[in-house]
Structure 1
Amino acid sequence: MDKILSSTLAVTVPGNNEEILNRTDMYFVRTQKIIEQYGDTEVVYAVFLRRPVISAPRIALEWLEHIIAREKINASYKLAFPEGEWVGAGLPILYLKGSFKQLVTLETILLQKLGACCVAACNAFQMTQLLPDTSFIAMDARHCAGYEMQELVEYAAWVGSKAAQKKNGAKGFIGTASTITSKFYGLHHGLGTMPHALIGYAGSTLKAAEMFHGQFPDQELGVLVDYFGQEITDGLAVCKAFPELAAQGKVLLRLDTHGGRYIEGLNRQSSYELLMRYAPETIQRYCSEKELTYLAGTGVSAAAIWYMRKKLDEAGFDRVKIIASSGFDIEKCRIISEARAPVDIVGTGSFIPVLWNETYATADIIAYNGKPLVKKGREFLINLARQYMPNLGI
């Protein structure tokens, strides 16, 4: 059966079969014991999610291939939707065929490695498609429950980006905040600016920029400008201190303004006025308070991005880039896109699935020894297998 292309992903694989059993639902372990007593049979699994997703199976399948080879399992798989393809709700992404005794204890870990990837990839696809001219950095690591989750969702961001690039030429995600997953993007180190803690340590935004540039002179100078609530004043001070870098487009100012206040120089009325100038239709059609906040409210709004761009251009720093962060999920990306806010880079971890129960992948056996059989209510899986994978022979 089909295999996906090999990759450089660092697949996390349990050390031995005992560890797999210890991480597996006990009813699968007990089922294996029963099969050993009463005899093995060949089965076909259909693996699916209940919501539309982007297929992101590589980590799951590389793990599966590794275990099949190591444990000498009599099994093979067929990928119904290749990596990066849209998958409708309930459509099986892959089929797994082989020894029931050997496969029954792999289901738990296989599903762990598939569901979250596919939903996160879908989120990343939608976000990057909404802002096709904006680059994204995956800044999710601090929000993940350990490295395994980080690997899953940051791989997924890459898959979603590739799908958006294929569909409408979107720039998509260009890297991650951590070096360990930067290889997904062909990089050797993580991306990012500086933490607020460095500015507090330095005592001023400009001093932090000077320290950063002194230590990393070959790096682009990415600076947070909201620490002292002086986004415009401190941002321009950095640009004036590094005019050559600014002219080369190597100064990046990051807006991460707290949602409890407006950026320096803005308020609700002036935010309205800016949007009426640059994107009047967005104010005229907004539908909810949340949308209005994203447009003209506190924090990193569309108006805030427009205002920063306006002030930079007026000061002659038209090549300085703006990085925006803070809650950039699908909905916020849509609003920022509709307002045509001139953001160069978005830093986000909000492609991580919000409703975790949407990530639950399911595996149902749909045939035993070539005979179609599935639990009541899931007969559609047999029909789909016959439609999409007639060579399964069920």
Structure 2
Amino acid sequence: MEERTMDRRSDRWPGAAEVAQWTDKYFSRTADVVRRFGDVTVTYAVFMRRPVLFAPRLALDWLKNVAAERGTPVDITPLYKESEWVGAGEPMVYLTGSFAALSELETLFLQKLGACCVAAYNAFHMCMDLPTVAFLAMDARHCAGTEMADLMAYAASVGGQRARRKGDAKGFVGNATDATAHYFGQDEGRGTMPHSLIGYAGSTLRAAEMFHETHPEVDLIVLVDYFGQEITDALAVCRRFPELAAEGKLGMRLDTHGGRFVEGLDTQTSYSVLERNAREAIRGYRSETELRYLIGTGVSAAALWHMRETLDRAGFPAVRLIASSGFSPAKCRVMAYAKAPVDVIGTGSYLPENWNETYATADIISYNGEARVKVGREFLLRARE
């Protein structure tokens, strides 16, 4: 039992022995009723109420695994290929098998499907808005446990893969943890330093030195907002590591929170920066939120242009810019029309931006071959015709 409970990958957990503990009680009691009065073969239509990308692999693998463990075969008919676009209300997959068996599996199957499909959709659109930017899935610490982290990393990889095919985008190239790096074709997670390392070192430059001494083989990506001296500290690190800077192995990560401007900026100077570099963006914003992304506090488009201008003037044009902090799909769209000079974006908490949109739904549409569905869901029958 100890070995079973330690393996919490989404395509394996819960195992057959744990299903009854984690399914909705009305489904397990329904299974009891059906076993008593006679099982039937049913077909479920699984759908979502909003457009998504089809990201079913973990859910389907789990279903196959647990069905095999329980000795209750399920006929699975996906209607789309992984990463294909699915419209709101369109069945994504049909599941046919024993009513008693499938009833107990519905809760867990839907848990593993809905959030992945929405997160993949969001990841795809982020990547398409910024095709020249590489994305990192930094969602792990925002997830509700390791199983969700597994689901979100997989979803980001699906969205990124579609963006590479459809828009020649760089897409999601990695993530934060070793356990889920395989979804991106990597052996380990990516990342260098959190703010706590800079606090420990006592200065941004010293933290960079300590990190490079410990991990000389890893590109040096330095957080520069800890002391509110993004420009000063970035230049100090560049001057300390000129060879890394010239080779493109040095990067500055802007993670400035929304309570203040990046060093050297205020509202007026932010306007001036964008007037020089992306005049059309400042004339084309459509909401106060978009304006804030352009010239506001935190990691704005103006902040990125300000850092890029500073590094270029100082003779460090090959130093990369990494941006994080609040990069939702909406913020990525604004960065796109501001032509923000960013090389990598770290995002995660916004992959499923609105959690109430992530719910997958399943309805039975056939009992022993007889078409039957609750009133209001007749469209599921038409979809199968």
Q: 1:252-292, CA deviations, whole angstroms, 9 ceiling, x for partnerless residues?
A: 10001121111111111111011111111111122222111
| TM-score normalized by the length of structure 2 | 0.96
CA separation in 2, counterparts of 1:382 and 1:233? 64
Deviation at 1:347, TM superposition (A): 0.7
Question: Which residue does the alignment assign to 1:120?
Answer: 119
1:73 pairs with 2:69: no
| 8 Å Cα contact 2:45/2:362 also seen in 1 | yes
Question: Which residue does the alignment assign to 2:36?
Answer: 37
CA separation in 2, counterparts of 1:313 and 1:246? 11
Deviation at 1:130, TM superposition (A): 0.5
5+ long unaligned stretches in structure 1: 1-8, 387-394
Q: Which of 283-292 and 217-226 deviates more?
A: 283-292
Q: Are residues 377 and 174 of structure 1, via their aligned partners in 2, closer, same or farther at CA, if it must alter by over 3 Å?
A: same
Letter paired with 1:270:
T
| 8 Å Cα contact 1:125/1:164 also seen in 2 | yes
CA separation in 2, counterparts of 1:12 and 1:80? 20
Deviation at 1:12, TM superposition (A): 4.5
- 3-state DSSP of counterpart to 1:114: helix
Q: 1:172-192, CA deviations, whole angstroms, 9 ceiling, x for partnerless residues?
A: 111111111111111111111
Question: Which residue does the alignment assign to 2:139?
Answer: 140
Letter paired with 1:175:
G
Letter paired with 2:23:
T
Question: Which residue does the alignment assign to 2:292?
Answer: 293
- 3-state DSSP of counterpart to 1:180: coil
5+ long unaligned stretches in structure 2: 1-7
Deviation at 1:13, TM superposition (A): 2.7
Letter paired with 1:292:
L
1:278 pairs with 2:277: yes
| 8 Å Cα contact 1:157/1:351 also seen in 2 | no
- 3-state DSSP of counterpart to 2:55: coil
**Alpha carbon RMSD of aligned pairs, Å?**
1.2
CA separation in 2, counterparts of 1:324 and 1:34? 55
Identity of counterpart residues, as a percentage?
58
Question: Which residue does the alignment assign to 1:48?
Answer: 47
Question: Which residue does the alignment assign to 1:250?
Answer: 249
Letter paired with 1:81:
Y
Deviation at 1:304, TM superposition (A): 0.5
Q: Are residues 16 and 59 of structure 1, via their aligned partners in 2, closer, same or farther at CA, if it must alter by over 3 Å?
A: closer
Question: Which residue does the alignment assign to 2:192?
Answer: 193
Q: 1:190-222, CA deviations, whole angstroms, 9 ceiling, x for partnerless residues?
A: 111311111111111110000000000111001
**1:19-38 alignment runs, 5 A limit:** 19-38=18-37
Question: Which residue does the alignment assign to 1:389?
Answer: none
| 8 Å Cα contact 1:43/1:99 also seen in 2 | yes
Deviating beyond 3 angstroms after TM superposition, the runs of 4 or more aligned structure 1 residues are: 9-12, 14-18
| 8 Å Cα contact 2:328/2:353 also seen in 1 | no
Question: Which residue does the alignment assign to 2:378?
Answer: 379
Question: Which residue does the alignment assign to 2:330?
Answer: 331
Question: Which residue does the alignment assign to 2:258?
Answer: 259
- 3-state DSSP of counterpart to 2:131: coil
Letter paired with 2:58:
I
| 8 Å Cα contact 1:139/1:348 also seen in 2 | yes
Deviation at 1:364, TM superposition (A): 0.4
Deviation at 1:355, TM superposition (A): 2.1
